[in-house]
Amino acid sequence: MVLAVALVQGASRGLGLEFCKHILRNKSPAAAVIATCRAPEGASELMGLAAQYPGKVTVLKVDVNREDEIKGAAEEVRQRFGKVDLIINASAMLHPSGKGETSLRDVSAQGIISTLTTNTVGPLMMAKYFAPLLLRGGGCFGLQPPEKAKLHSGIIVNITAKVGSIGDNGLGGWYSYRMSKAALNMATRNLSIELARSRPKVVCVSLHPGTVNTDLSQPYHRNVPKDKLFSTEHSVNLMMSIIDKLNIEKTGKAYNWDGTELPW
């Protein structure tokens, strides 16, 4: 019997793939994972994970730049599972070029639009179509003290970045990426307000994973101290420990990997 349903958006590699592995290792056999990515046919490691956990992993083709695919996926999940307890929006791009803009002369309208579409608009559209399923969630993730049972149903986690904090920005640069994550944080805040009006409520937070050894950050590893460059497994372990302690009092905020609150 499936007690918890977790959906990981952007699950073909990096943090998204590691979230799938973590949930399957630590929540199975009571958890089912819905893993979405743009091109499942090319996601060999994800498909291998699905084969390793037969019946526990559902892989869906979802390009977050295509609203129709998000809508179709939500309908398929509704028919197959009837609910979602946790959504993690993990897919992100630094910039179409693979490098952040170091100055204004590097900025292009298309670069900004592409980055915002993937990093901000996509997660917001996921919330739009999956919110009804989150409202049917059983609060299987996050803290649910007996005396406060059913205070929340589902949880939305948007993977943000510290460079998206306006209050923390002292270096500038990386226009597209910074703007996309700052806008994502605003979306998280807005969602937390609207979805807190429901009964039961949906918890919405942004999480900063630290600097993680992924393709996105690889061009900048030489500037990161070794003890501050996290493996995907270590980062996900830290973030899942935060997710497991979430409750409605913590909604609408951004948190660092160590659980401290990140300034907007």
pLDDT, tens only, 155-175: 999 999 999 999 889 999 999
Give residues with Cβ within 8 angstroms of 79, minimum separation 6. Answer: none
User: How far is 2 from 223, CA to CA, in rounded Å?
Assistant: 44
Residue 226 lies in a domain: yes
40 pLDDT above the threshold of 60: yes
pLDDT recorded at residue 174: 94
Residue 141 lies in a domain: yes
151 pLDDT above the threshold of 90: no
Secondary-structure breakdown of the chain: helix, strand, coil percentages, each rounded to the nearest 5 = 45, 15, 40
pLDDT recorded at residue 216: 64
pLDDT recorded at residue 153: 85
Residue 86 lies in a domain: yes
Residue 264 lies in a domain: no
Domain interval for residue 245: 5-9+62-255
Structural tokens at position 45: 């490691």
Residue 32 lies in a domain: no
User: How far is 147 from 254, CA to CA, in rounded Å?
Assistant: 26
Q: List, edge to edge, every strand of the sheet that includes 57-61.
A: 57-61, 31-37, 4-9, 86-89, 152-159, 201-207, 254-255
What is the mean pLDDT of the segment spanning 183-201?
Answer: 94
241 pLDDT above the threshold of 50: yes
pLDDT, tens digit, for every residue of 42-59? 999 999 999 999 999 999
pLDDT, tens digit, for every residue of 76-91? 999 999 999 999 999 9
Residue 27 lies in a domain: no
User: How far is 190 from 109, CA to CA, in rounded Å?
Assistant: 26
pLDDT recorded at residue 264: 85
Which helix or strand (DSSP H or E) is residue 183 part of? helix 175-194
- Comparing 4 with 218, which gets the higher pLDDT? 4
Determine which of 22-31, 187-196, 208-217 has the lowest per-residue pLDDT on average: 208-217
Give residues with Cβ within 8 angstroms of 17, minimum separation 6. Answer: 11, 45, 46, 49, 232
Q: Residue 41: which pLDDT band, with cuts at 50, 70 and 90?
A: very high
Beta strands in 42-99 (DSSP E): 57-61, 86-89
pLDDT recorded at residue 1: 54
How many domains does the chain fold into? Answer: 1
- Comparing 158 with 151, which gets the higher pLDDT? 158
pLDDT recorded at residue 140: 78
Give residues with Cβ within 8 angstroms of 135, minimum separation 6. Answer: 153, 154, 195, 198, 200, 202
Return the CATH number at 144: 3.40.50.720
Distance from chain centroid for Cα 6: 11
pTM beyond 0.85: the answer is yes
Q: Residue 229: which pLDDT band, with cuts at 50, 70 and 90?
A: confident
Give residues with Cβ within 8 angstroms of 111, minimum separation 6. Answer: 95, 96, 97, 101, 176
User: How far is 109 from 250, CA to CA, in rounded Å?
Assistant: 36
What is the mean pLDDT of the segment spanning 99-107?
Answer: 93
147 pLDDT above the threshold of 60: no
Q: What is the mean pLDDT of the chain?
A: 91
Residue 161 lies in a domain: yes
Determine which of 99-113, 139-153, 199-213 has the lowest per-residue pLDDT on average: 139-153
Residue 188 lies in a domain: yes
Determine which of 29-33, 131-135, 185-189, 204-208 has the lowest per-residue pLDDT on average: 29-33
Q: Residue 146: which pLDDT band, with cuts at 50, 70 and 90?
A: very low
